[in-house]
Structure 1
Amino acid sequence: MSALRTLIVVAFLPLINLTNAERILGAYIFQRHGDRTAKSWPPAKLTNLGYSQEYMTGTFFHDRYISSDSSYQIDGISTDIVNLAQVTASTPQDDVIENSGEGFLQGLYPPVGSLATETLRNGSTVQSPMNGYQLIPMSDVKSGSGSEDNLWLQGTSSCNNAKVSSNNYFSSNSFKSLLSSTNELYQSLEPLVNQTFSSAELNYKNGYTIWDLLHVALIHNSTTTFPSSSLLNDQLMQELFHLASEHEFNLAYNSSDQIRAVAGMTLAGEVLAALNETITSNGKSKLNIQFGAYATFLSYFGLAGLNTADENFTGIPDYASSMAWELVTNNTGTGMPSTSDINVRFMFHNGTSGEGSTNLKGYPLFGQSMLELPWTQFVDKSNKFAISSQQQWCQACGNTTGVCGSTSNDTGGDSSSSSPSSGSSSDTGMNSGVAGVIGAMVALGVLMGLLLLGMFVFGLRLIPKSALTSVRRGSHTSTSSAMKTIA
């Protein structure tokens, strides 16, 4: 009997483990582009290495979120052929970033071979090109367009207040101090970069583009084409990287002036909207991927308090780095659980994710100690800085032209709070359309009253149309007689 009991317990162990397993309901990925040519030699181009980095990272996320063998598979997601209702991808208009997105998506949903064969009505079959290559469209996002051809972090931002805020860093004491103390270091680089930067440009203000040029050269240039120098070593590159990171982080975020982090504020609103759509659609929308540049990473790091938890979050993320927000639950059901049973987990990996790498690691957001935040708490914390609408963006940026021209005079309130002089409502809050209908009815009533008064004074009366017709056709009555009869 005990042997039978043991057999039953062993048989049900897989089911017990399954019911206790965590479920991932959906995810949002923000993905940096892959390796590219130097920003100081526009137009920047995605390299073969960069394309491979993105493909590898897309493959990693396929194995994590898509594959049926994964313990982190998103609940109910299509495993072979992409369901476009479940997956949404977006990118700014930028060649490097758009091409990176294509490489990532090829790895996320690879070709499906014979599964892509269609049988036509006449019985013939059609095989999809490139072994069943899967097409996943990418929509446009406004922030970050042309970012890889622009040397300045806020150069692609149309947010007026963000530009002013970033420019304020150049007049700060910390910037002036570093500009002075590092002058000798940057001047010493002239033999290495004199074909790109003049002596006057070799200073901390150009710290990012100088480091970027050397960084790209060390990856792609051979020793025969890249000037050899005992100066260029790992220690120097590390120092230049730290200076470039401090420069860019201070342009991307400031704790006393959050609008400087407009890229991260916009991303936070997009993440909230997408994850909320996953919940409210009962899981029809499952995975969102947005492609972008390092500036958005740095902005969000500051807004979410990640830089205070780990100083590495002030550094420029490497090519093909990933941020992910996962909706998770321990609810044992099969549908979408109550929001009280849903948590959010933030994940980050610096650099290309793939086989043999450390891959994603969880980090606590907003200065919390927990790796997973309850959904409602995540929403409350994010809404303290998230920009979730065009009107919010216009107000925060102080823009009043272009797309903001139609919203600059909008108070955002309901009709009852509108000024009477606006013309949209009366003092009683009456809608203008309703008021127009009532006015027309009043005018019609006045006309009817005048008609009845005329009939009473002149002895007029109404007769049916049929009676009028018979009068006109009568052989003993002339037209004048008929008119007299009506009168």
Structure 2
Amino acid sequence: MGSNDNQILGVVLIVRHGDRQGFYQNPTTYTATATQITPLGNQQEYQLGELLRSIYVNASSPSYIPGMSTGLFNQSQVYIRADLGGESGVVYDSCVSLTQGMWPVTIDNNITLANGSTIVAPLGGYQNVPIDAVDPNLDVSLEGFLDCNTFDTHTTDFYNSQLFQQMTKQSAAFLKLLLPYVDGRTVSLQNMWNIYDYMNVNSIHNATFSTALPSTFLEQARALANWHEYNVFTDASVSGIGNIAGQAIVPSILDAFDNIVNTTNPVKMMISAIAYKPFISLFNMTGVAAANPQLAGIVDYASVVAFEVRQSSAGGEPMIRFNFKNGTQDFATYDFLNQTGDVPLSVFIDAVAPNAVNTTAAWCNVCQNSQHRGCGALALAAQQARSAALSPIDPVGAGFLGAGLTLAVVLLSFATLAFLGLLSFGRKPKRRYMLGDDEVELRKSPSRVD
């Protein structure tokens, strides 16, 4: 996982859920039906958790994070969040299994009572690891693509493009061969993700289907699905709306970096459990997919990106290392942002922060949505503020009350929204911090809202 000529300070982990049952996604809006995780999916995530523990929470590992508790889970050191949206409880349940592997049962999880008896937690010392369940209706950061009108337009434009029409012609003969293997599903390039997902799920769980399916068909379907999804969830420009899934998750990554490099902050690990879409956008935004075409598509179950924050023993600016494990494959370190090796934190920030969607208000604006996912409440608050500003007041008291009343209404409206979590998402750490004898400031774009 890269050279170890410097000291790891902490890590940001982006994890895909494990194996699940099949489900359907609308090819244009990507709204989805519910599904559920399988025992295989739980096992995949548990084993991934064990691996991550051996790397980052093992004092004998070269990538052990200094100060991390190697025994009982220490809530002050880790922040974990899991998407509770499109795939129902699959992502959250996967995250639970991941944490069981990272912080396994231990008899040290016990308490001694006043009468002298010692009680060990159930299941041999099970550790309860808090996970922040992210409701996409209240926090858009993990599913920035849903209900995003401009993203839906981007997807429709892709389907109407000459590129898509050319691929439709090229793939027509193969897609026709799939008719006996999709259980009546619409066989079209536009529906390619649903076709592939049905074939993949049944290849894993249905012995009859797996035996009957010609040996190359799943791989061919995967290639078309990768092409389809990469073109939907990316854009030629980093700032393009096709990257909205990545743009929305970036602020939480930057905030986690802030926490890690701030020596007064105990949080040294952040875990985000998600579906596959933000991976595609992030790989595009960071240049990883362009340099590694095999990563331009759907990541496997239980895949993980590890953004390691490192610093030379001689001091200086923190560096970011990009490690990725695609499903059952081994971890590998990738160059990114057109640089070789670890990338300075300031370079990473300068590259992605200007394109980050930092608040729900910003998301409502770029997605041109005034109704869903908190946008309606924001629009109402703005309308109420304007109405209060324009309300007639007795001329005698206007000079004394006008500005104060308007300000009070505006502050009250926005305070309410902030309390409800509708104005911003992600933790808001300090922007200036000390590293040894050097003071470093995280540069940010003017669009970033604290």
* TM-score, shorter chain, exceeding 0.5: yes
Residue in structure 2 matched with residue 188 of structure 1 by the alignment: 177
Change (3 A) 1:122 1:331: same
Q: Which amino acid aligns with 2:205?
A: H
- The structural deviation recorded for 1:287 is 0.6
What does 1:123-142 align with in structure 2 at a 5 Å threshold? 123-142=116-135
Kindly indicate whether structure 1 or structure 2 has the higher relative contact order, using CA contacts under 8 Å at least 6 residues apart.
2
- The structural deviation recorded for 1:384 is 2.7
What does 1:270-289 align with in structure 2 at a 5 Å threshold? 270-280=252-262, 282-289=264-271
Q: CA contact under 8 A between 2:92 and 2:133: conserved in structure 1?
A: no
Residue in structure 2 matched with residue 163 of structure 1 by the alignment: 152
1:251 aligned residue (219, 222, 232): 232
Supply the distance in 1 between the matched residues of 2:55 and 2:286 (Cα, whole angstroms).
Answer: 25
Q: CA contact under 8 A between 1:154 and 1:163: conserved in structure 2?
A: no
Q: CA contact under 8 A between 1:268 and 1:386: conserved in structure 2?
A: yes
Q: What is the number of residues matched between the two proteins? A: 382
- The structural deviation recorded for 1:120 is 1.6
Q: CA contact under 8 A between 1:144 and 1:157: conserved in structure 2?
A: no
Residue in structure 1 matched with residue 435 of structure 2 by the alignment: none
2:193 aligned residue (200, 208, 227): 208
Residue in structure 2 matched with residue 77 of structure 1 by the alignment: 68
What does 1:430-449 align with in structure 2 at a 5 Å threshold? 432=404
What does 1:232-271 align with in structure 2 at a 5 Å threshold? 232-233=214-215, 235-256=216-237, 258-271=240-253
Residue in structure 2 matched with residue 399 of structure 1 by the alignment: 369
Residue in structure 2 matched with residue 174 of structure 1 by the alignment: 163
Supply the distance in 2 between the matched residues of 1:364 and 1:204 (Cα, whole angstroms).
Answer: 32
What is the Cα-based RMSD across aligned positions, in Å?
3.2
Q: Which amino acid aligns with 1:162?
A: F
Change (3 A) 1:144 1:206: farther
Q: Which amino acid aligns with 2:321?
A: R
Supply the distance in 2 between the matched residues of 1:296 and 1:240 (Cα, whole angstroms).
Answer: 21
1:366 counterpart = 2:360 = no
Change (3 A) 1:371 1:144: farther
What does 1:337-348 align with in structure 2 at a 5 Å threshold? 340-348=316-324
Residue in structure 1 matched with residue 430 of structure 2 by the alignment: none
Supply the distance in 2 between the matched residues of 1:387 and 1:50 (Cα, whole angstroms).
Answer: 31
Which entry has the higher C-alpha Rg, 1 or 2?
1
State the Cα deviation string for residues 405-432 of structure 1 (Å, max 9, x = none). Answer: 4545999xxxxxx9x9678xx99xx962
Supply the distance in 1 between the matched residues of 2:17 and 2:128 (Cα, whole angstroms).
Answer: 19
Change (3 A) 1:342 1:395: same
Supply the distance in 1 between the matched residues of 2:320 and 2:152 (Cα, whole angstroms).
Answer: 32
1:101 aligned residue (59, 73, 95): 95
- The structural deviation recorded for 1:276 is 0.7
5+ unaligned residues in a row in structure 1: which ranges?
1-19, 146-152, 412-417, 437-487
Q: CA contact under 8 A between 2:144 and 2:244: conserved in structure 1?
A: no
Say which SS state the counterpart of residue 323 (structure 1) adopts. strand
- The structural deviation recorded for 1:315 is 2.3
Q: CA contact under 8 A between 1:143 and 1:156: conserved in structure 2?
A: no
Change (3 A) 1:129 1:250: same
- The structural deviation recorded for 1:210 is 1.2
Residue in structure 2 matched with residue 290 of structure 1 by the alignment: 272
- The structural deviation recorded for 1:97 is 0.9
2:81 aligned residue (84, 90, 104): 90
Supply the distance in 2 between the matched residues of 1:30 and 1:155 (Cα, whole angstroms).
Answer: 15
- The structural deviation recorded for 1:433 is 6.8
Supply the distance in 1 between the matched residues of 2:200 and 2:179 (Cα, whole angstroms).
Answer: 15
Q: Which amino acid aligns with 2:222?
A: F
- The structural deviation recorded for 1:380 is 1.1
Say which SS state the counterpart of residue 221 (structure 2) adopts. helix
Change (3 A) 1:313 1:54: same
Change (3 A) 1:286 1:250: same
State the Cα deviation string for residues 249-299 of structure 1 (Å, max 9, x = none). Answer: 111112147212211111111100111122235341111111111111111
Q: CA contact under 8 A between 1:252 and 1:261: conserved in structure 2?
A: yes
* TM-score scaled by length of structure 1: 0.71
Residue in structure 1 matched with residue 352 of structure 2 by the alignment: 382
Supply the distance in 1 between the matched residues of 2:277 and 2:40 (Cα, whole angstroms).
Answer: 21
Q: CA contact under 8 A between 1:28 and 1:271: conserved in structure 2?
A: yes
Supply the distance in 2 between the matched residues of 1:129 and 1:157 (Cα, whole angstroms).
Answer: 39
What does 1:460-471 align with in structure 2 at a 5 Å threshold? none
Change (3 A) 1:434 1:181: closer
Say which SS state the counterpart of residue 305 (structure 2) adopts. strand
